[in-house]
C-alpha cells in the first residue's frame, strides 16, 4: 500500500475524531475549557463535554516548527468507547485509535460543517 493511501477504517477514525473535536469546540451545553495557553512557539487547547451518559475530552497542540499533537477520548455510560491520537497542524492528521467500540454513541455526535 502506498503511504498516502487511506483505508476506509482509517478515514472513519479520522472523521469521528474530527467530529468529536468540532462538536465540543462548538460550545454545546455541558462543554468547558479545561486548559489553554500558548507562546510564540506553541499553543494548546484542552476541552471536555459531559452529559448524563457521555463524556468527550480532546487536546490539541500546535507548533509552527513541528507537527503538533491531538488526542480524543469518548466515554459512553462510563465505558471508554473511543480513544485516538495523532498529529495536529491546522487540523488533525494520522489519527490512530487505541480503543474503538462502534455503537449508537457515534450517532449522538453531530456532523458540523467546516
CA dist 2 and 21 (Å) reads: 28
Asked, for residue 12, whether it belongs to a domain, the answer is: yes
Asked, for residue 112, whether it belongs to a domain, the answer is: no
Asked, for residue 105, whether it belongs to a domain, the answer is: no
Asked, for residue 28, whether it belongs to a domain, the answer is: yes
Parent domain of 86: 8-100
Asked, for residue 3, whether it belongs to a domain, the answer is: no
Asked, for residue 24, whether it belongs to a domain, the answer is: yes
CA angle 99, 24, 69 (to 5 degrees): 55
Tell me the pLDDT tens digit for each residue of 65-99.
Answer: 778 999 999 999 999 999 999 999 878 888 999 99
Asked, for residue 1, whether it belongs to a domain, the answer is: no
Tell me the pLDDT tens digit for each residue of 9-65.
Answer: 999 999 999 999 999 999 999 999 999 999 888 899 999 999 999 999 999 999 877
Q: What is the domain count for the chain? A: 1
Asked, for residue 60, whether it belongs to a domain, the answer is: yes
Between the CA of residue 104 and those of 56, 81, 109, what are the distances in Å? 15, 11, 10
| Joined grid coordinates for residue 68 | 503538533
Amino acid at each position: 500500500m502506498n503511504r498516502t493511501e487511506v483505508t476506509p477504517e482509517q478515514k472513519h477514525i479520522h472523521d469521528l475524531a474530527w467530529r468529536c473535536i468540532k462538536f465540543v469546540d462548538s460550545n454545546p451545553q455541558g462543554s468547558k475549557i479545561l486548559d489553554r495557553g500558548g507562546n510564540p512557539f506553541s499553543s494548546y487547547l484542552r476541552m471536555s463535554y459531559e452529559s448524563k451518559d457521555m463524556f468527550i475530552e480532546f487536546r490539541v497542540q500546535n507548533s509552527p516548527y513541528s507537527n503538533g499533537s491531538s488526542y480524543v477520548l469518548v466515554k459512553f455510560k462510563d465505558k471508554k468507547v473511543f480513544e485516538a491520537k495523532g498529529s495536529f497542524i491546522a487540523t488533525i492528521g494520522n489519527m490512530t485509535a487505541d480503543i474503538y467500540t462502534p455503537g449508537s454513541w457515534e450517532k449522538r455526535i453531530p456532523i458540523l460543517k467546516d
